[in-house]
Structure formats: structure tokens, C-alpha cells
Amino acid sequence: MQELIKKYKTEVLSFKANSEKETESFRIKYLGKNGILNKLFNDFKNIEPSEKKEIGLLINELKNLIVSKINTSQSIKTTNSNNVFFDYTLPEKPKEIGALHPLSIVENKIINIFKLIGFNLETGPEIEDDWHNFSALNMPEDHPARDMQDTFFIQKNPDLLLRTHTSSVQIRFMETNSPPIRIISPGRVFRNEDVSARSHCLFHQIEGLAIDENINFSDLKLIIQEFVNRLFGENKKIRFRPSFFPFTEPSAEVDIYWGLKTETDKKITKGTGWLEIMGCGMVDPNVLENVKIDSTKYSGFAFGMGIERIAMLLYQIDDIRLFYENDIRFLKQFQSSHIM
Ligand code: PHE
């Protein structure tokens, strides 16, 4: 048997493949089901126990030799076989570059502006409890203002809901930090509204909060004007309209004059050229007391805006549903947008 193995060994050593086909028949001859190696292993069962160790080693050695021979024949084929020529000077295939989602682009821009003005980023849970989303924000149970925000409640636990705004993050932050406070809280919010070209049951907000001694409405106006200048350019007109929010007093809504240059402008601004971009106001003293901040010593302002609306204006998108459908033709248009 030793002689036989030696003979195979010389055969294997001298084997040289000229084609894939030859390598394959070599493989079948030695490693196939009825191949030489299996026969050797079969015969191995019947040999004298004293010979087993030596012959076992020889068979294994042969097997390794065969396997490495096949491997080298195959790699020769792929790197530089007879007919395959690889031209290293060819240009690379173009890479598919992903694109940031337009909402991420706008969100990043807004966050960066507020970071430069000195605000820190805070996030919180999307599933909230009644206290952080409503009660602490001066909307006790049965307060009519709760109706303004058509809420999705969690059926099994009526105390839990999908947050309707990211003001809840402000409550969480004030509960665990003391003034001075300057934060912005971006995130996804949910309201049970009919889905149409203008509204959706989920959207994105960025809310801001500043609490310190002697903060007043003119500080708020200054910050908002600075933000608008940086996001939309220096020459945009804005106006503050008196409004109502339970958690701010006085409250206002901010409109920006965008003009009516395109059909989309007309559609988004309902033909007026003006678009409401945020709600804001001075934090109601009740809210400060709810989170144990002394309202005789501290005051502050808060504001909140929807990202979709601003993105629609900036990118001339006239249907909010496009943001959530993930149609690749829509998303690819933002490939060249500035990534901040
Ligand atoms: N939370 C308000 C909303 O979602 C926005 C807002 C924030 C208004 C802060 C005033 C102050 O509509």
C-alpha cells in the first residue's frame, strides 16, 4: 500500500493544469466519491493495526498535497490564466453614492445653526407619559387645549402615548437640570391627522428652550431673526403674530415671507406668500413651577418648528407624503445636497 501511495504522490506532484477542465477532472479523480482517496481510506480499514499510524500519515499527506495542488491551479486561473487578461489601467466602476434624506439635511442645518448660537442637543423618548407631554406643560386633564393635538394613546396603558411634540424633552431636561438652560430637541412626533399632501400623522420637529435670569421677549425675537437669517438668507421678512399655547405666555407664531415665485410657493403658502414656520413664546411660570424652577427668579422662552414644512419650502416639494415613501427617484435628487 505504501508503494501505491508513493506512486500517487509522484503523479500528483507532476500534475500541471492547463485549463479549468483539467483541474476539475484531477479533482474528481482524486477527491471524487469514487476517487482514489476514498479507495485508500477504505483499504485503510483492513490493514494491520501496527501499520496504521505510518500509512495514515502518508494518506493524509497525499490528501493535503492534492488539495493544495487544486487550490493553486484555481488561483492561477483567476489571477492570470491563459486567456484572462486583467487590465489594471481601466477606470474603476462608478460607485453608487447614497444621499442623505432631505429631512436629515434640513434637520442638520437647523441643529448646526442653534449649536453655533450656543444651544445644546437633547433627545427623549417617542413614547411619552401624560405628565411630560401634557400635564407638566400646563395642560391638566380635561384641558381643552389637549384637543388641538390629536393624540395616539397606547391602548393597554392610557397614561402612555406617542408624543405629540418634543416639548416633552424640555420638561425632562428641566426636571434634571437647573438654569441657565439652552437646549434644542429634534425628533419625530405623532398626531392622529388625516394624511394628505399638506399633513401627515407623523412628522419631525425641532423645539428650543432657553431659561435664565432676565430673559425676555426681545431675546426670543433676536434669536429667531438670527436663525431665519442664517437658514434662509439675510433678506427674508418675518412677522410675529399673537397666538396661544398653554405652555407659553405671551405666545406667538412666526411667519416668513417667501414670495410667490413658483407654483409650489403658491401651493405651500396657500397663495399668500407667507408661511407659518414656528410657534413660540415666554415659558409660562406654571411650567417652571411644575419642574421646580423658581419662576420669580428665572424666565425663559421656547419655540417649536416643523422640519417638513421648511424642507418643502427650501426644496420646493409640494407633497409631504413624498418624505415617507422612500421612492429612490425622489431620494436620489438630494445626492449633491450639502452634507453638514
Ligand atoms: N409645542 C408646540 C407645537 O408642537 C410648538 C411650540 C413650542 C410653541 C414651544 C410654543 C413654544 O405645536
In a domain? residue 242 = yes
Same domain, 61 and 113: no
Number of domains making up the chain: 2
- Give, in degrees to the nearest 5, the angle at Cα 229 between 225 and 235: 105
pLDDT at 78: 52
Q: Which residues does 133 contact at the CB level (< 8 Å), separation at least 6?
A: 151, 161, 163, 164, 165, 167, 168
* Whether residues 166 and 275 fall in one domain: yes
Between strands 248-257 and 127-129, the pairing is: unpaired
Residue 228 and residue 142 share a domain: yes
| Cell numbers given for 178 | 437647573
Closest CA to 55 of 4, 10, 14, 12: 4
The pLDDT assigned to 231 comes to 94
- The answer to whether residue 96 scores a pLDDT higher than 90 is no
Q: Which three cell numbers stand for residue 146?
A: 389637549
CATH of the domain at 301: 3.30.930.10
107 and 58 assigned to the same domain: no
Q: Which of 184, 221, 247 to mutate to test the pocket of ligand 1 (most atoms within 8 A of CB)?
A: 247
Q: Give domain status of residue 93, yes or no.
A: no
Contacts of 243 (CB under 8 A, 6+ apart): 251, 252, 253, 279, 281
For residue 340, name the pLDDT band (cuts at 50, 70, 90). very low
Write down the pLDDT at residue 338: 54
For 319-331, the pLDDT digits (tens) are 999 999 999 999 9
Mean pLDDT of 147-163: 86
Task: Let me know whether 146 and 261 are in one domain.
Answer: yes
CA of 36 to the centre of ligand 1 (A): 81
Last residue of a domain, one of 34, 57, 87: 87
Mean pLDDT across 300-307: 97
- Of all protein residues, the one whose alpha carbon is nearest to atom 9 of ligand 1 is 303
Tell me, yes or no, whether 164 lies in a domain. yes
- H-only helix segments in the chain: 2-14, 20-31, 36-44, 49-80, 102-117, 130-133, 167-176, 217-232, 263-268, 285-290, 307-315, 322-325, 328-331
Distance 44 CA to ligand 1 centre (A): 84
- Which pLDDT score, from 0 to 100, does residue 99 have? 85
Find the mean pLDDT for residues 88-95: 82
* Same domain? 224 vs 326: yes
Residue 4: all three cell numbers together: 501505491
Do residue 194 and residue 292 come from a single domain? yes
User: Which of 55, 87, 119 lies at the terminal end of a domain, its last residue?
Assistant: 87
**Same domain? 265 vs 212:** yes
**Domain limit, last residue, from 87, 120, 145:** 87
pLDDT of residue 134: 94
Residues 74 and 175 in one domain: no
Same domain, 119 and 75: no
Domain that holds residue 210: 102-334
Q: How confident is the model at residue 293 (pLDDT cuts 50, 70, 90)?
A: very high
Quickly count: other Cβ atoms within 10 Å of residue 45's Cβ. Answer: 7
Ligand 1 centroid distance, CA of 319 (Å): 23
Q: Look at the block and give the residue holding cell 445644546.
A: 120
Centre of ligand 1 from the C-alpha of residue 279, in Å: 5
Are residues 121 and 251 both part of a single domain? yes
74: how many CB neighbours lie within 10 A of its CB? 16
Name the grid cell of 13.
506532484
The residue ranking higher by pLDDT, 94 or 226, is 226
Q: Which residue would you say has higher pLDDT here, 268 or 188?
A: 188
Closest by CA to 4, choosing from 43, 52, 49, is: 43
Per residue in 172-196, pLDDT tens? 999 999 999 999 999 999 999 899 9
Ligand 1 pocket, CB under 6 A: 165, 167, 207, 245, 248, 279-281, 302-304
Provide the angle, in degrees to the nearest 10, between the axes of the packed helices 2-14 and 49-80. 10
User: Which atom of ligand 1 lies at the shortest distance from residue 279's CA?
Assistant: 8
Looking at the fold, whether 79 and 214 belong to one and the same domain comes out as no
pTM of the model: 0.72
Grid cell listed for 324: 415617507
Q: Give the mean pLDDT of 310-321.
A: 92
Q: What pLDDT, in 10s, does the model give residues 40-91? A: 999 998 888 998 899 999 999 999 999 998 888 776 555 555 566 677 888 8
Distance 305 CA to ligand 1 centre (A): 7
Q: What percent of the chain has pLDDT over 90?
A: 68
Is the residue at 94 inside a domain? Answer: no
**98 pLDDT higher than 90:** no
